[in-house]
Amino acid sequence: MQPKPNHDESVRQDFVTDLRAYLTDEIYTLITPHYEKKIEPEFLQSHDRKPKDKSEVKSLMLNDKGYQSWSLLQRLSQQMMFTSVIDTVERNLEAMIDNLDKHQEIGSLEIDDSLEIPRYLTAYDIHQQPGGYHSETIEKDISAGAVYDISLPIYSRNAMGEENDLLAQAIIHYIDKNIGTFQPKDILDMGCGIGNSTLPFSKKYPNSKVVGADVALPCLRYAHARANALGVEADFSQQNVEKTNYDSESFDLVTSTLLLHETSHDAVPKIIQECFRLLKPGGWMIHLDVYPFHKKEDDPLYDFLKDWEVINNNENFSGALRKMNMKKIIEDAGFATETVEFTSAEAAAKYSKGYTGDFYLKLPVYVAQKSIAS
Amino acid sequence: MNDKTKLPRVAKGKKLNYLNDGSIDNLMAMIMTLTQEISVLRDRIDTLERILESKKIILDEEFNEFIPSDDLETKRKNRRHALLERVLLPIKKELE
Ligand SMILES: C[S@@+](CC[C@H](N)C(=O)[O-])C[C@H]1O[C@@H](n2cnc3c(N)ncnc32)[C@H](O)[C@@H]1O
């Protein structure tokens, strides 16, 4: 299903992968020492104290050529990633759409034409993907899904696994390790996008019924066709996961990967409440997202740097999510206090395409159980 | 990348500033290095095509069907790393 880059597109994309690796390994690593050796001492000289918070650090950094150059290049690399991927998708688009009919046999695709796309997805293009997840340029458009599918490996230095399923593997690993006896029958993957985190559950629990829900139709069309091409069964449905049309208590497991940080302050509690409504008593909710919980409160440089994506990559909500009291939101929704946990889910990751070495992926998860008595 | 000796690539001396605040100088340096590398590549491909043509062994679609081995992927990755090292040297200098 994934469109194949031609020779030049392929090596152009490889260049972006390597550029991003270089910017991270060779340039970003210089920023903290540069700050400690040059920027901070200069400030100390003229102010008799260190910068006190991230906004003070910010005004220093925005005037620093070295930092600004890295920041510019990092932003450009994201743009170069998308343009180099879009070439491939555009070249193959009509043929892919013509082929969609051949990939409808298993699973289903439910479309809701009247669904409104939330403003937080339409106001700006999250992480600079042109057109975002939802825009359609041509009838039966699937380009947003295809672009996402090819970009994810570039973004992750070819570490997401052949089917971009590393994040779901981390959740599965978490369940096996911590809730070993749990055998979910009905599973919902919220914000499923292209289904990359949905299909691993169909494979892991072959007797279960797995549903992926997302607002973005171009991603869902791609997800359904992709599932067929891979021969894995799942149902896909166009829904706003703040309020779905499923009956209460219809799922044993509700998951998401990389959903919450792309929503909004108002949406997060609604999504958590919806999870509670949808879960059967005893069911589990597991949301995996990108940001570390540990906060070095007294390190204004770290505070400033971790907001890079917010300011420079259109991840406008991701900074604010870090500050939300998720524990309270989850407890207020009704989840059993003693089961609410923020921990990390791990998966064994493997680089590919010229990158060698294995590593452990460790990502934060919000976990909670709906108590059996509720 | 490897433990081979690395020779210095930056001359010691007074730092001069030509355009704007110096960022533009960096940009210009990067762009010119890139241009140079593209020119090198172009000439190399040209040579390659001519040799292959004279031996009648290349078809256009073969380019797109070619799948590099793992070894070749690693070689290319290292080559790109070296290219970036040269192109982005001005930025590294700024931070070092
Ligand atoms: C970063 S993508 C994650 C896709 C996939 N789960 C993964 O991990 O690669 C976020 C997805 O969430 C979807 N999304 C955001 N808000 C949503 C909402 N309120 N209801 C349904 N889907 C939503 C977006 O359309 C997008 O496909």
What pLDDT sits at residue B64? 79
Q: Which segment of A88-92, A260-264, A293-297, B91-95 scores lowest on mean pLDDT?
A: A293-297
Rounded to two decimals, the pTM is 0.91
What pLDDT sits at residue B22? 78
What pLDDT sits at residue A214? 98
Q: Which atom of ligand 1 is nearest to the CA of A118?
A: 19
Asked if pLDDT for residue A113 goes beyond 70, the answer is: yes
Mean per-residue pLDDT for A239-246?
98
Q: Per CB distance under 8 Å, which residues of B are interface residues toward A?
A: 21-23, 26, 63-64, 66, 70, 73-77, 80-81, 84-85, 88, 90-92, 94-96
pLDDT per residue over A24-71, tens digit each? 999 999 999 999 999 999 999 999 999 999 999 999 999 998 998 899
Phi, psi of A123 (to 5 degrees): -65, -35
What pLDDT sits at residue A290? 83
- Ligand 1 centroid–CA A277 distance in Å is 20
CB contact under 8 A, A354 and B76: yes
What pLDDT sits at residue A8? 83
Asked if pLDDT for residue A225 goes beyond 90, the answer is: yes
Phi, psi of A24 (to 5 degrees): -75, -50
Q: Residue A170 domain-assigned?
A: yes
Higher pLDDT, A91 or B8: A91
Pick from A8, A26, A84, A88 the residue to mutate for testing the B interface (most B CBs within 10 Å).
Answer: A26
* CA atoms within 13 A of residue A277's CA, in its CB half-sphere: 14
Q: Residue A359 belongs to what domain range?
A: 154-369
- Residue A96, min C-alpha distance to chain B (Å): 18
Q: Residue B5 domain-assigned?
A: no
Share of chain A above pLDDT 70, in %: 98
Asked if pLDDT for residue A294 goes beyond 60, the answer is: no
Residues in B touching A19 (Cβ below 8 Å): 80, 84
- Provide the domain count of chain B: 1
Number of H helices, E strands in chain A: 15, 8
Higher pLDDT, A194 or A307: A194
d(CA A138, CA A117): 18
Tokens of A79: 């743009």
Asked if pLDDT for residue B19 goes beyond 80, the answer is: no
- Measure CB to CB from residue B91 to each of A14, A73, A355 and give the nearest one: A73
Alpha carbon A317 to chain centroid distance? 13
- Provide the domain count of chain A: 1
d(CA A326, CA A291): 13
d(CA A15, CA A190): 33
Mean per-residue pLDDT for B64-80?
88
pLDDT per residue over A272-293, tens digit each? 999 999 999 999 999 999 876 5
What pLDDT sits at residue A345? 94
What pLDDT sits at residue A367? 97
Phi, psi of A220 (to 5 degrees): -65, -40
Which residues make Cβ contacts (< 8 Å) with residue A282, sequence separation at least 6?
A252, A369, A370, A371, A372
Q: Residue B77 domain-assigned?
A: yes
- Ligand 1 centroid–CA A258 distance in Å is 7
Containing A255, the helix (H) or strand (E) segment is strand A251-257
Q: Residue B27 belongs to what domain range?
A: 22-95
Mean per-residue pLDDT for B60-89?
86
What pLDDT sits at residue A76? 87
Higher pLDDT, B57 or A347: A347
What pLDDT sits at residue A340? 96
Share of chain B above pLDDT 70, in %: 88
What pLDDT sits at residue B4? 66
Containing A210, the helix (H) or strand (E) segment is strand A209-214
Q: Residue A55 domain-assigned?
A: no
- Residue B77, min C-alpha distance to chain A (Å): 6
Instruction: Identify the CATH number of the domain in which residue A351 sits.
Output: 3.40.50.150
Asked if pLDDT for residue A322 goes beyond 90, the answer is: no
Asked if pLDDT for residue B5 goes beyond 70, the answer is: no
What pLDDT sits at residue B41? 87
- Residue A290, min C-alpha distance to chain B (Å): 27
Asked if pLDDT for residue A369 goes beyond 50, the answer is: yes
Q: Residue A121 domain-assigned?
A: no
Report the mean per-residue pLDDT for chain A.
93
pLDDT per residue over B22-61, tens digit each? 788 888 778 877 887 887 887 888 788 888 878 877 766 7
Strands A186-190 and A235-238: unpaired
In the 8-state DSSP scheme, what is residue A262?
G
What pLDDT sits at residue B1? 44
- Ligand 1 centroid–CA A192 distance in Å is 6
Q: Residue A202 domain-assigned?
A: yes
For residue A159, the one-letter residue type is: A
Q: Residue B9 domain-assigned?
A: no
